[in-house]
Structure 1
């Protein structure tokens, strides 16, 4: 008879029961082959024993036989639905597949049959934290503490659970109870120090500043808290919040330790009632006086001088900025313009800086007719020219910037920064090919400089030279990697992936562009998954404060510019494919791999297989883990991804985080609308238009979509439910008055914004959509060339693309006009000339040879 409470199907004889315990032991010790052999011995006599089947499946999964193992686990669960071991194993498998919701369901089932299993409870707590199910987390942590109150990590984990759920009062109570019962804490105990700092943080967030200061000071005095900098920072911050007079002294002590920390100066000034964001004239003088005293006390510190420039105005600013500029130009600080760029928000400060540097330059360059030219510091001269070039380029005077840079290059042709910034100026002026060529010139001055090579590769990408860019990147990537691109993707280089995706998109290769954007999305999925291990580690190691910062950072992960940009661009590609499915199947020279690329891909795949085979031979019994390893790339050119079904569903998925993470990004709301309206989610679409309208009611892109939505809505044959239709109609009427026709609405918009070329383009697109004759559309769009119309380079390129799209006979005429208007740009030349400009980037010329020769002589 089986023991009481054990189902007959689960009961094993004494010998097999001992063998099953050995299976568990072998698995824990990672003796996987022995465990597999023992499990087979049990299954030979009892082939339907669910728990043994599950353990065998788990072991097979660790040995790399994932599909076989998963099938055995599912079979085992079906055979014994009341076994906590079966459900626990199933949960482990699902957790390894990053399917956290299903894994938690399995753990919940396991806990029904073994409510006090510590391992399952801990794993469930980690999953609840990962899924941000904080109410359930508090309950689970309570259970763990009740079962093992002697483990101090259980106390801290419960406090953290309360903190995450927003119940700071209970977190404080748990910490107080823990500190009352803890005994025999050794001196300089790092873990206890972290717990006490966390307690202070909780009290600070609760607004109990007196208690926080008392706890902090008592434990700082007894050396229970050993992080001295953290003590000072907490103390200064809490004193400021409490409005104590000692705050000023506390911030001053921090400044003495680190006189270049801006936050310390801001805290010091705030303690004196000076808010830098809303400073008055009286406070301005007080702040400048304090900063002057700090500058005298710390003459090598730049922070007080730089903050003073933010505050000062008029003559005081002029008096302060002159020595600041001169000192840094003498030292040759390349980042000086980046340092001062924020001051350009004020036109008066901008003009003062220009006058100061120009005046300084005039004293360095003496007329050639002077009988006795003064000694000129070449360093100061070069960097003054460099700064002025940056200044004029920032203001849009690209010709003037290039003149200054050419003068500097003529004086010192071996300074890489000059060629680098000339490349940036040309890029801004619309010459990506000249920009790439100049960045290559900078690279030749120091071929061992990784930064210069990286910048050269980036600019080649922007010139559309993707293979040539990869060659440059390959100089510093792993030599044993399948390819430089794959190595950079493995290293999660968001900058590279974004630039390559954009380059592929500009080249018209939608498949590869989408593939690279998708790689960015997968990296963010990895970032999100990587936090899982810290839910247990941080509590176990008591790194609580930094762990809470991590949770906050992860909650805002997809607000990162790389994700926002890639999600918007990927959704646009998917919308294009939905509107024109032929884009996914149409063969093109851009979307097909060349023979050379196919050979490279084949060699890379073979190399990966050989490495994997070698690794398997060297570690036959190695635990391969539950995590899904790198998979073979079955879609090297991205065509399968582009052709995959439900493009709108995929677009909606990548855009979903932007509804909360990019609320202030109008492009995100427009992309959300484009997807929603095609999915016939009209309320979601109109809500997105409302959000975009609140951000920028005059946006040209919004104007086009308002008209498009109105047209779609009025042509609907199957309206949504009455309530939804009423809500949508009410929202539409607020954006487009019902008594105004779309033609009049478009005309009114154009009249209001006739001086903006992007508005002219939007109105032309609307006219085309409303069925206006091509000649009328062309005449309208050519008004963008009027002298009183602001035409930017990006808008001009968009107009050319639109004219080409509607097959206008006047597209070349507009290009010619743009060539005259944007004289430095090479983007308006005929297509055959563009190809020649691309080739010229990687061809050496006499200038490059001369630069390289001079660099060799100097070295």
Structure 2
């Protein structure tokens, strides 16, 4: 490395270097590149100039060339803060935040008071949740620029995030004391004052928070009137002030359908709606009925009353609520009251009420004669949903057919019929029903989206793509690519599941990986707000966003993706030959192969057009530091299947589930599956204990406990050695040493002899213990005993298991299931299923589809 003195440039080149910095700051990239080249002609090994040239080239889209120059510049001068800063910017653009922060830390060693580096470091520390270091960095920024308002707020927020609320309060008080000449109705100052109130409330200084709020509300320093009333109501309730009731009433009058306001009002009167007792029930009902009478248009008090009423009183209130909803024709009425079905008595009462309404409106053996025919129609629709909710699908279909006879043009009847058929195991019939609903209103995006979703569930991926293409960008390489860019979790999840059901593990993994990338992007997107929110003083929203990002992966789509993708990775680890069997085009029909080829050609054409447009552009547009989207060189997912580290990929996926899905037993099961194969036995036994705490008799847990005992008994050594006694003791708590696996499995099978899932789990344990095939088959077929509860999903899982053990009784099992689940089509032969697939274009032609939807690009 050249000595540091070699960094000095001659006067002319030093002036040019300052111009390079200015050109870069003003995004005059071509001028900056020209000036950098002039310097390098005379001083070709000047590290700072090499780094700046590399940074400029990166912004101009010449990414690889630029990064190489930055690395070369770093080698020339490792003591320059500019080189380290540039290297940090490159790493930050690649989302490598840990390494970027290390680079900034190095830069600060050589320039301790560089404001730009300090500010970027603070953003990175927030992104990485390094709050102690963030406090130090914010202190330095405030010391260097005490006149900048955002530096005060930044320090207060840093203390808040680190949990030191008292210091955050002191900073805010000092800031407000030195602040002068605040203009009237300053929204930014108002947000800071509301943050101060929030801070005082979190600290428990309720009286002081209320006094501070009132003072600044009266002076009009706080301009958000709704926020003022909400804070006042909450603070007054905590202080048990008599004025709190009127404040809550004021809020209810402004928004009479906010459940939060009613709960706040009742809680102020010592009634907790989430924990009703016999002593508080009457008081709560009386209060809610008073609000319902005072504000007739409000639905919230009437609906809340149904949660707490019981007996005859519930029936009276429910009759009024349901009658009003049916007369208005509210399609979501059943979804609204479905939560009440947790109480069997309320479910029966609702059935009696709605059946009574239907009988009043209908005339036996004749078309309904009523002054309100739509009420009769929505009553049928409600009852169909009601009966389907507890698996009386035959009755639901009967009611839906009656409704279609009454009004054949109501899309909801067809959409719900599709849902009923889906629950019965007929994905093709369900998709056809949704297609009939879609044709009734071709411009309805909801119906089209629902239709595409059901086509995917039936495995009709190409037909689904046709529907999605009606509302996606026409210049996109494919509808799926556009929806992927739009981060449509619904589409990505459904298509991934569709490929998984068809056995296309590569494509399923590709889509699951895309979902994982979407969540990574959500996480990365917060970075820009670390600076923006403090500049705009939107502090309360910013703190809420930080909290939301911390639990981001608790989203159902991520949990579903992590579990399913990890199962595939575990399969690939257990049987690497699966990757070979999923060769290019495996599992695709001729039609699908043609569609893939057509899509590939379209994608290539779009790429050529984009490349041409980029080449002919003469602007010096800033391309940014982020790497461009990589070309998809694995269209069928063949390469991803052959990844050398399937267990490490699975471990990365399931790591967040330990905290965000702690109440999900399926998550703990897959965490065990990954940990035990990585020989992380302590993690594995912890997962089993967590699963046991949720459901000690869960079938999958029974299988995993047996698997763990079997694995440890065949393991030559438990490593690390100090953990061996801990693991063995923990296993002994799950499965006593004196109890053999055969006896353990027999006890479980006997205890749960009427549960189809338990029977399947017991058969899998028997296979683990190398029991004879005929014994395993006999155990499996006991699911058809009259006293055994067998649902569709368990039957499908059992069929998969019979395929795995290469049973000769597969067809016999399918025939028995086909007879058991009368409306199901999933157990039919491939030939019969192929006959059930319909040509969507022919169906639309028969239905007379001529209208094209309005497409909004």
With normalisation by structure 2, the TM-score equals 0.97
Retained in 1: the 8 A contact 2:465–2:480? yes
CA contact (8 A) 2:384 2:395 kept: yes
Q: 1:641: how far off?
A: 1.2
Deviation (angstroms), 1:721: 3.4
CA 1:794/1:588 → structure 2, altered by over 3 Å: closer, same or farther? Answer: farther
Residues 183 and 351 (structure 1 numbering): CA distance in 2 closer, same or farther, change over 3 Å? same
Change (3 A) 1:325 1:19: same
Aligned twin of 2:79: 82
Distance in 2 between residues matched to 1:374 and 1:40, nearest whole Å: 89
Deviation, structure 1 residue 374: 5.4
Contact 2:191 2:538 in 1 (8 A): yes
2:465 and 2:479 in contact (8 A); partners too: yes
Q: Does 1:274 align with 2:268?
A: no
Change (3 A) 1:449 1:619: farther
Is residue 337 of structure 1 aligned with residue 331 of structure 2? no
| Other-structure match for 2:804 | 805
Give deviations 1:418-463, integer Å, cap 9, x for gaps: 0000000000111111000000000111111111111000000000
The answer for the alignment partner of 1:795 in structure 2 is 794
Contact 2:799 2:814 in 1 (8 A): yes
| Structure 1: distance between partners of 2:794 and 2:191 | 55
1:489 paired to 2:487 = no
Indicate the larger mover: 605-614 or 583-592: 583-592
SS at match of 1:469: helix
1:706 aligned onto 2:705: yes
In structure 2, what is the equivalent of residue 531 of structure 1?
526
Q: Which residue number in structure 1 is paired with residue 395 of structure 2?
A: 400
- SS of structure 2 residue aligned to 1:273: coil
Q: Say if 2:320 is the partner of 1:323.
A: yes
Q: Distance in 2 between matches of 1:753 and 1:649?
A: 36
Q: What is the alpha-carbon distance in structure 1 between the residues aligned to residue 594 and residue 432 of structure 2? A: 27
Segments of structure 2 that go 5 or more residues without pairing to the other structure are none
Do the aligned partners of 1:365 and 1:376 also contact (CA within 8 Å) in 2?
Answer: no
Contact 1:666 1:695 in 2 (8 A): yes
The alignment status of 1:542 with 2:540, answered yes or no, reads: no
How big is each residue's C-alpha offset from its partner over 1:573-592, in whole Å with a ceiling of 9 and x where there is no partner? Answer: 11111111111122374456
Deviation at 1:629, TM superposition (A): 2.3
Once the two structures are superposed, residues 104-158 of structure 1 have per-residue CA deviations (whole angstroms, 9 ceiling, x without a partner) of 0010011111111100100000000000000000000000000000001100000
Q: What are the within-5 Å matches in structure 2 for residues 303-702 of structure 1?
A: 303-368=300-365, 375-586=370-581, 587=583, 589-590=585-586, 594-702=593-701
Secondary structure, counterpart of 1:594 in structure 2: helix
Contact 1:511 1:642 in 2 (8 A): yes
- Residue in structure 1 matched with residue 749 of structure 2 by the alignment: 750
The alignment status of 1:212 with 2:209, answered yes or no, reads yes
Cα deviation 1:167-195 (Å, max 9, x = unaligned): 00000110001111101111100000000
Is residue 256 of structure 2 the alignment partner of residue 259 of structure 1? yes
What SS is found at the alignment partner of 2:6? Answer: coil
Aligned to 1:181: 178
CA distance in 2, matches of 1:845, 1:43: 69
How far apart, CA to CA, are the structure 1 residues paired with 2:515 and 2:63?
Answer: 26
CA deviations on 1:325-348 (whole Å, 9 max, x unpaired) are: 111111111000001001111111
Partner of 1:3: none
Q: What is the deviation of 1:850?
A: 6.0
How far residue 387 of structure 1 moved from its aligned partner, in angstroms, is: 0.3
Deviates more, 1:603-612 or 1:130-139: 603-612
1:650 Cα deviation (Å)? Answer: 0.8
Kindly indicate whether the alpha-carbon contact (under 8 Å) linking 2:585 and 2:636 is maintained by their aligned counterparts in 1.
Answer: no
More displaced stretch, 788-797 vs 604-613: 604-613
Evaluate the alpha carbon distance shift between residue 368 and residue 681 of structure 1 in structure 2; reply closer, same or farther with a 3 A threshold: closer
Q: CA deviation at 1:598?
A: 2.5
1:834 aligns with 2:833: yes
Deviations for 1:764-809, whole angstroms, at most 9, x for unmatched residues? Answer: 1111111111111111111111111111111111111111222222
Identify the range of structure 1 (645-654 vs 805-814) with the bigger mean alpha-carbon deviation: 805-814
Contact persistence 1:558–1:661 (CA under 8 A): yes
Indicate how the Cα distance of structure 1 residues 850 and 609 shifts in structure 2: closer, same or farther if over 3 A, else same.
closer
> Is the Cα contact below 8 Å between 2:462 and 2:595 reproduced in 1?
no
Structure 1 stretch displaced more, 769-778 or 386-395: 769-778
Give 1:855 deviation, angstroms.
Answer: 14
Q: In 1, Cα distance between the equivalents of 2:47 and 2:175? A: 42
- TM-score, normalised with respect to structure 1: 0.97
CA distance in 2, matches of 1:127, 1:557: 18
Preserved CA contact (<8 Å) 1:436 1:841: no
Q: Deviations over 1:586-615 (max 9, x none)?
A: 237445672441332132133123224304
* Alpha-carbon distance in structure 1 between the residues aligned to 2:337 and 2:572: 45
Secondary structure, aligned partner of 1:276:
coil
Q: Following superposition of structure 1 onto structure 2, how do residues 751-766 of structure 1 map, counting pairs within 5 Å? A: 751-766=750-765
**Structure 1 gap segments, 5+ residues each:** 1-5
